[in-house]
Amino acid sequence: MSIFYDTHQSTFHLQSRSTSYVIQLLKSTHLVHLYWGPRLQGTSISSLLQQVERASFSPNYHADDRDFSFDTLPQEYPGYGRGDYREPAFEAKHSNGTTVNDLHYVSHTITTGKPTLEGLPATYVEQENEADTLEITLRDPLTGLEAVVSYTVFNELNAITRSVKFDNKGAETIQIQRALSSSVDLADDEYRMMQLSGAWTRERHVHYRPLTPGLQRIESKRGSSSHQQNPFIALLGKDANEDQGQVYGMSLVYSGNFVAQVEVDQFHTTRMQIGLSPFDFEWKLEAGDTFQTPEAVLVHSSEGLGGMSRTYHKLYRTRLSRGTHRDQVRPILINNWEATYFDFDAPKIKSIAAAGKELGIELFVLDDGWFGHRNDDRTSLGDWVEDRRKLPEGLGKLAKEITATGMQFGLWFEPEMVSPDSDLYRAHPDWCLHVPDRSRTMGREQLILDLSRQDVCDYIVESVSAVLSSAPITYVKWDMNRNMSEIGSALLPADRQRETAHRYMLGLYSVLEKITSTFPHILFESCSGGGGRFDPGMLYYMPQTWTSDDTDAVERLKIQYGTSMVYPASAMGAHVSDIPNHQVGRMAPLTTRGHVAMSGNFGYELDLTKLTDTEKQEVKEQVAQYKELRELIQFGQFYRLLSPFESNITSWMFVSEDQQEAFAGYFQVLSVPNGPLRRLKLKGLDPHRRYSMSVNGVTDANTYAGDELMYHGVIAPYAQADFYSALFVFKAVE
């Protein structure tokens, strides 16, 4: 058992392998936060809450206790209206129009294992002894609103999950206006906040900012987790860096609108929160109804950002991702998108697939343009019927011909969208998100289907399943290429319209659950214009995501580095594309493009039939090398060595769990005249072992001690070339 309740002190002590989280029940009623940090060995804690009287501007909840004020109390799940002027974790409006709430402790349970969240993705356990769960029931005695605040401790992973289930046990309807998943009050403000922000083709760049009094917030109001922000923040202690110091991470298992924020108050304490965005959100909770928040995953690390990342990586790879492909190596693919766009026919597709087979590639993916009358991005979304003009013998025949050669066959879909120029829209114009009497804003000449409707969800499941059943398909790229506007539903009443965005996500999750369960042999990859929905919620259904539509190797250094803060390499799709690069026009060498893409789920996105013999030979060698390394890359431990946000040089590495093997990439963006000589210091190796080393396929005659490689380092290449890369492989020797 990793959760202990001390009846004498009224404290709950949550212990993982290296982390403690302590809650106190104050005055038998109020839930307060005492500690989150390195593991405390005992099950009790001697230093409890300090309280002092403040001025009358911090009002006293208990008239006979002038030291007690919600304005200064470090709370576990703070509400609004009883004297706490900081950001609340929840808000609820009552039938009389007021929004004052007051949750009191009722009871708690401690159980082995981890319950599921109804209708929502969440982390899980395979054996009950992997985790323990604390559920604390709070209730407002006046209104009957009940909140069950749930904590699960993963015993070996330094991760704690939090969520809240609201239950209206009163007689009157309540409107939930804010329902965050986690709120933690820290004792001081000596932190830097880190966030992952960007834009389409520039996702998840790493940004830091010092905390200042007031609110620091990131948020998505786009109907998806978004390219612009990722549902994650971290606080870094005063001396924390990549390898050392205290780091606190919060990540939300959700794919829609979210908020993650930090507030520093007048006394320099810090409130850290994450959950559903309260912007344009409301949920009508009638008597007897319940509402479940998404899951927040809290990770503490005493080993800097690297330690935090490796915890998230292992948890999300092994206890969030599910299904047949979770623990299987992923196939090397060739996608025709940047090779042909919409302009292709069956012979062209077969020629690219044949070229891929010759080079050792294992999977061909037919991208956009195979259905309806889809010759551009203005038509046919929603009409998931093969285009017989391009594929006169049908999709099934094409797939069978390609798989007969030994290649697998994959397909692109965008099931959540509809084109106004489509049979589906002409038959059901009310099936898209819209509001009465308003024009319908276009994005990429398309509208978004209303997945808050069961009939729409049923159509998607039926139409997609029909295609997947018609051909030997083993891979699906599930795309979503615009953000929401006119967020309304034709079927919801006026007082539930602000539920539409969240109901959409619940509908999407139900669709994904049905389709992925029906076709467990298919490897699903999530996509939203690349990385616009790269979040833990999607990883629950699809174990990998197309990291970015930007395939330029240099830009991918920052994108993949930032993504690695939370997400494992097994979740990142990474492809070699043509030059000049279609997003930025850069002319990076094929070697460098290959080395960068090898740091994820490897593939190509160009016309293989146009390569020279020399290029084909290099591709063949890259494919062979990745096959040797992919288990290490996809399932090994990841270490960041040099940051592209701080230097002209980027480096990272993967180390096998048994420390027998390692792979490191070294990337120089621009050549520096008469530049410095460098040593590359590795991480994660066994200091007591010796390792052989090869660089770009050339084996060094010497062997090297693990401690030497980590503390003294290896000689970094001295290259007078832009966009240069080197690939190091280390293997333990007796």
Residues designated as active site: 479, 549
How far is Cα 678 from Cα 473, in angstroms, rounded to an integer?
48
Query: Which of 225, 189, 183, 188 lies closest to 210 in space, CA to CA?
Result: 189
| Paired residues of 262 in beta bridges | 216, 272
The answer to whether 196 and 205 have CB atoms below 8 angstroms apart is yes
- Residue showing tokens 């062209």: 348
How far is Cα 467 from Cα 384, in angstroms, rounded to an integer?
7
Three-state SS string across 150-213, please?
EEEEECCCCEEEEEEEEEECCCCCEEEEEEEEEEEEECCCCEEEEEEEEECCEEEEEEEEECCC
How far is Cα 46 from Cα 16, in angstroms, rounded to an integer?
19
483 contact partners, CB below 8 Å, separation of at least 6: 222, 223, 224, 226, 443, 532
How far is Cα 379 from Cα 557, in angstroms, rounded to an integer?
35
How far is Cα 345 from Cα 713, in angstroms, rounded to an integer?
52
Query: Which of 89, 70, 71 lies closest to 79 in space, CA to CA?
Result: 89
Is the peptide bond preceding residue 580 cis, with omega within 30 degrees of 0?
yes
The answer to whether 415 and 459 have CB atoms below 8 angstroms apart is no
How far is Cα 370 from Cα 387, in angstroms, rounded to an integer?
6
Sheet holding 30-38, edge to edge: 3-6, 11-15, 19-26, 30-38
454 contact partners, CB below 8 Å, separation of at least 6: 507
DSSP conformation class of 216: E
Q: How crowded is the C-beta side of 683, counted as CA atoms within 13 Å? A: 19
417 contact partners, CB below 8 Å, separation of at least 6: 381, 382, 446, 447, 448, 449, 480, 481, 482
3-state secondary structure (DSSP) of residue 545: strand
How far is Cα 724 from Cα 215, in angstroms, rounded to an integer?
42
